[in-house]
Structure 1
């Protein structure tokens, strides 16, 4: 066996297995140099966040477009729609993270890969949805190819480091993650590997998630209950044991997710309303479980015969199998709950 003191590799003679020991970095890569690179990156990331804080504090265009974006997403969610987020490469990873964060906060969101969208997944989009496109450059080819096929009238929001870009200018609203030239990755260390740009987009995206959650659910305790309900496992779940649902509103199906059709609707219209829904209400008179509508002679439940409960009522007051109507007030429905 020979030993190379330079690289500290053990090389066995012919016919024997080769084993490599840990390799010492080249002499010119000193610990000081390594820490220097780490500090350069951390400072650059911090400067990117500081820059975003400054423009969101003072730039009217940025503020107006942020507010408009939040309004569009809020209107979609309260209308029974969802937030559809799309991006390529590293931006696609950010899209996946923001979708996960939104869903954990009780905000309905899905990820849409731009390439898969052109091969059938475009069907995920509904008229009440909002499409959020994440692109650092504002000219991602895959998103540009997708746009002509997005249903007209669908709100489009662009989360980008380059608001004055083809995708930014063509969007209904822009979520700015703008970075000046001196914070461009290539300017910092010579390689355009997404770092400061992804940090900027992720930070703005996280701000959107929390802002939406606060608007949709104004009460802090209610937000905590929703969040706890979405995190039953792990360390987060252990911290939120007290957030387990105890009131009807925590477990009910919101009325916005009930298919509603007129009393004179034909069979096809009723079946369409039932697609993907747990409950369908016909003529404000009868309530049907969506999967039961295909069965012969199904009669459903008479709406007037169902017990009304308040959204803050304890679920323990509802018997197993009992279907109740949850009320916002004396005249408005909030949702449906079936005891279990």
Structure 2
């Protein structure tokens, strides 16, 4: 072995990083036109390629779909055996081929021409069969592959994937696609947990430990015990007026049972809102060493979250 694996790895990354820098500096002139076209179609973005380009196409379509641009992949081989029917004149097609001469794409190219389906080529050679047939050519720099023999798709697929990300993010920004939209498409896993709102997990209604200012502390303690959150919310004239915690009980231990909730409660308690990201609410609790946050809508108490609710939801 002539080179240490670490040196080889560093060399690969440097070659691909240089290619991405060059791609950024030589962004295809038609990039804006492609984004505009993809934003105006009423159908889907069809992405395809053969071999490694096919894997890039699958990732690209998934990224488009998850950021507000409906998309799917069509395998070139399957396209020639009926799946061309998935491609309609309302769609746009992006075909990925480093050489632009991938023979398996021929039927898809012909289909686009026959039915006037907008065709975008993502290739290194504008004069190739694919490049000449396309309505738009997203030309990638003629950068060397990073493999030892200069043939395995490495740099070329990295550039194609990055260019796909650039398209997706540009369309995402143009659509005003925000975190709420993103959450709608990512309800599961870590991403879904991070994008949950407080309203999704908060306790409400009869679950809330609510007391009035004149409630005797004996009843307050019973409410705190029954509801199981270790706190009680003080409601006065229909508005949240304070909170009673274990700390308040300790500070008022002398003569506690002779007092009322209004005399013991801490006024102006820390709160959050139903629309707050659960991740942000957890950060608030950690920062201020709280295990419970009251949830308000204006002056009204509408819910309560415990730190365990956030942890159970996968936010950590």
Structure 1 counterpart of 2:100, from 118, 135, 138 = 138
2:10 equivalent in structure 1? 39
| CA positional deviation for 1:179 | 2.4
| 1:20-99 matched pairs, under 5 angstroms | 28=1, 33-56=4-27, 62-63=28-29, 65-76=30-41, 80-99=42-61
Matched, 1:120 2:60: no
| CA positional deviation for 1:160 | 1.4
Q: Which structure exhibits the higher relative contact order, with contacts defined as CA atoms closer than 8 Å and separated by 6 or more residues?
A: 2
Structure 2 counterpart of 1:203, from 155, 162, 165 = 162
Partners of 2:109 and 2:133 within 8 A in 1: no
TM-score normalised by length of structure 2: 0.59
| 1:222-301 matched pairs, under 5 angstroms | 222-242=177-197
Matched, 1:172 2:135: yes
Unaligned runs of 5+ in 2: 201-274, 276-316
User: Partners in 2 of 1:145 and 1:139 — Cα distance?
Assistant: 12
Q: What secondary structure, in the 3-state scheme, does the structure 1 residue paired with 2:197 have? A: helix
Partners of 2:145 and 2:153 within 8 A in 1: no
2:171 equivalent in structure 1? 212
Matched, 1:149 2:114: no
User: Partners in 2 of 1:243 and 1:67 — Cα distance?
Assistant: 38
Q: What secondary structure, in the 3-state scheme, does the structure 2 residue paired with 1:175 have? A: strand
* Two-structure CA RMSD over aligned residues (Å): 2.1
| CA positional deviation for 1:82 | 0.9
TM-score normalised by length of structure 1: 0.55
Partners of 1:51 and 1:179 within 8 A in 2: no
Q: What secondary structure, in the 3-state scheme, does the structure 1 residue paired with 2:122 have? A: strand
Partners of 1:159 and 1:177 within 8 A in 2: yes
Matched, 1:192 2:163: no
| CA positional deviation for 1:237 | 0.9
Larger of the two Rg values belongs to structure: 2
For 1:116-170, what per-residue CA distance to the aligned partner results, in whole angstroms no more than 9, with x for missing partners? 1111111111111101101111111111243223333111001112233221122
User: Partners in 2 of 1:156 and 1:73 — Cα distance?
Assistant: 10
Unaligned runs of 5+ in 1: 1-27, 57-61, 246-313, 315-340
